[in-house]
Amino acid sequence: MARFIFITGGVVSSLGKGLMAASLAALLQARGYKVRIRKFDPYLNVDPGTMSPYQHGEVYVTDDGAETDLDLGHYERFTGVSARQSDNITSGRVYQNIIQRERRGDYLGATVQVIPHVTDEIKKFAVSEVDDLDFVLCEIGGTVGDIESLPFMEAIRQLRNELEPQQTLSVHVTLVPFIAAAGELKTKPTQHSVRELAALGIKPDVLLCRTEHPLPDGERRKIAQFCNVRPEAVIPALDARSIYSVPTQYHEEGLDEQVLRSFGITDAPEPDLSRWQDVEDRYFNPEGEVTIGVVGKYVGLQDAYKSLNEALVHGGLANRVKVNIEWIDAEIFEGEESDIAAQLEPLHGILVPGGFGERGSEGKIASVRFAKDRKVPFFGICLGMQMACIEAAQSAGISEASSTEFGETKEPVVGIITEWMSEEGLQQREAGGDLGGTMRLGAYDAMLDGNSHISAIYGGAKTISERHRHRYEVNAAYREPIEENGLLFSGWSPDGLLPETVERPDHPWFVGVQFHPELKSKPFDPHPLFAGFVAAALEQSRLV
């Protein structure tokens, strides 16, 4: 029987509920339980795919091709469990499903209402595909009191009555602020938040109190008393030194123990935390450091490149080095006076990440050229690989080489594709069609040339599977000039039509990939491309 843990947040947003959910799942997993984490997002977009990274941070793509909330990235990185389409639901999707059914006439003349129709749809989502699991953690986006999240709260309230008595648990994450003038921690916001939750019919079993100062015993008891929770179930959650310390830190504070106790589980195995201890050891005791420049567009907001940031750190863990990341706006390389060398020379590696639109593309191409000419390790991801191919074509004399994403061009080195093969068969779309959900999305195989550098990076693998999220492809018709310039096509889609990876054999480390390897990297299992890139940067750091 799967048990359900509902995680809500109170007082303010950005308390790190996603990280908390991921850490709790990791702790339960460390005790041998099978876990899965789900995210309920109250906003009205059907999925975050069309939202600007500035609005909502990175869009995290799953193997089965869903565009989901970035919290699913945390979940996957902390548990190693591959996220699925069925792990993220939004109000938009709930309403879309209901309205489609209403139009078909499936409600047989009934009035369609928030209760029971919307709440039923939410409940159905929460309890679907859970047969082989021990714990399902459901994180509700937003903060208690938001109008948008009310149907989700109501669905939880109902589920808590409908499922078995000890089958559900409510964990509420709150803030205990420190008022410097008074020199005191204040529990009132937590009391208010719990009262608000109680007014919706949900009594929390465990409170996780985010705080910048240790929570004195007296305050803990006060919270317990006013909030109707056992004192031991009031867990202080001090700011962690790193996100990788959160699982062990919450364990020391008793989070997993109190959760199990609230479920009435007394015979749980002790957790094996060696995986996390090793990650922390590597993270806090680096034996060197490298500096990687990420030349992109959304550099003002690091959440826009969340998985990339993490994967680079993982590359550092694999090599026992600290990775300093310099976020560089590609546009600064586009003016007449831009001094690209001054900016890029101090770097040990240059990465051009995924992205959309023309803005900054010239700066990205210039960065590719700098890395190529100066033999600085270079890693191009998705748009970054496309830029590497355009750079090679331009260097081969095709001066107008460009991407149709940036407008009409005579030399479409990168162009839109309207047909491709997936496991489900031939996929088709129109060039001017909808933007939402129409990209090549999710896991696709790539066939690697057995003699290539990239195959060696993957331990000699000839077939790999990686996640995609793009609308345009490198145009294989330009293979000849690009390869003449020294950029080889080393990996292809299984039908041999779409270039998947490129590399420069005359360069210490120059790799471009059409997919997003950062989505599958984990702290305890760094992705080989990031491990390899950071290793090459370490070599470079010894040269400069």
Catalytic residue among 348, 470, 507, 516: 516
Structure tokens at 538: 């370490």
CA distances for 496 relative to 196, 420, 423, 491, 492, angstroms: 58, 11, 15, 9, 5
Task: Please check whether residue 172 is in contact with residue 198, taking contact to mean a CB–CB distance below 8 angstroms.
Answer: no
Beta bridge partners of 327: 294
Quick check: is 518 catalytic?
A: yes
- Out of 359, 374, 471, 479, name the contact with ligand GLN by CB under 6 A: 471
Which of 316/415 has CB closer to ligand GLN? 415
Answer yes or no whether residue 392 interacts with ligand GLN by CB under 6 A: no
Q: List CB contacts of 469: < 8 A, sequence separation 6 or more.
A: 59, 61, 67, 354, 382, 439, 440, 441, 516
Structure tokens at 88: 């993220």
Quick check: is 345 catalytic?
A: no
Q: What is the 3-state secondary structure (H, E, C) of 413-465?
A: EEEECCEEEECCEEEECCCCCCCCCCCEEEEEEEEECCCCHHHHHCCCCCEEE
Which of 226/420 has CB closer to ligand GLN? 420
Answer yes or no whether residue 56 interacts with ligand GLN by CB under 6 A: no
Outline where DSSP puts E strands in 240-335.
289-296, 322-329
Answer yes or no whether residue 472 interacts with ligand GLN by CB under 6 A: yes
Q: How far is the CB of 340 from ligand GLN (least distance, A)?
A: 22
Give the range of 140-148, 310-318, 452-460, 463-471 binding ligand GLN by CB under 6 A: 463-471
Phi, psi of 507 (to 5 degrees): -130, 145
Query: How many residues at the interface with ligand GLN, by CB under 6 A?
Result: 10
Q: What is the 3-state secondary structure (H, E, C) of 501-537?
A: EEECCCCCCEEEECCCHHHHCECCECCHHHHHHHHHH
CA distances for 537 relative to 90, 325, 371, 462, angstroms: 41, 12, 12, 25
Quick check: is 74 catalytic?
A: no
Which of 235/441 has CB closer to ligand GLN? 441
Answer yes or no whether residue 469 interacts with ligand GLN by CB under 6 A: yes
Helix 306-319 crosses helix 71-79 at what angle (to 10 degrees)?
20
Q: How far is the CB of 311 from ligand GLN (least distance, A)?
A: 15
- Out of 453, 470, 507, 522, name the contact with ligand GLN by CB under 6 A: 470
Give the range of 102-110, 267-275, 348-356, 527-535 binding ligand GLN by CB under 6 A: 348-356
- Out of 354, 377, 517, 523, name the contact with ligand GLN by CB under 6 A: 354
Give the range of 44-52, 103-111, 352-360, 428-436 binding ligand GLN by CB under 6 A: 352-360
Answer yes or no whether residue 355 interacts with ligand GLN by CB under 6 A: yes
- Out of 202, 365, 376, 382, name the contact with ligand GLN by CB under 6 A: 382
Answer yes or no whether residue 383 interacts with ligand GLN by CB under 6 A: yes
* Buried b / exposed e along 200-212 (16+ C-beta atoms within 10 A): bebebbbbbbbbe
Answer yes or no whether residue 429 interacts with ligand GLN by CB under 6 A: no
Of residues 480, 496, 529, 483, the one with CA closest to residue 388? 483
Answer yes or no whether residue 405 interacts with ligand GLN by CB under 6 A: yes
Answer yes or no whether residue 321 interacts with ligand GLN by CB under 6 A: no
Which of 354/517 has CB closer to ligand GLN? 354
Strand 3-9 versus strand 35-41 pairing type: unpaired
Task: Please check whether residue 70 is in contact with residue 19, taking contact to mean a CB–CB distance below 8 angstroms.
Answer: no
Structure tokens at 24: 């709790």
Give the range of 234-242, 279-287, 351-359, 525-533 binding ligand GLN by CB under 6 A: 351-359
Answer yes or no whether residue 356 interacts with ligand GLN by CB under 6 A: yes
Catalytic residue among 382, 468, 473, 507: 382
Positions in the binding site for ligand GLN (CB under 6 A): 354-356, 382-383, 405, 469-472
Catalytic (active-site) positions: 382, 516, 518
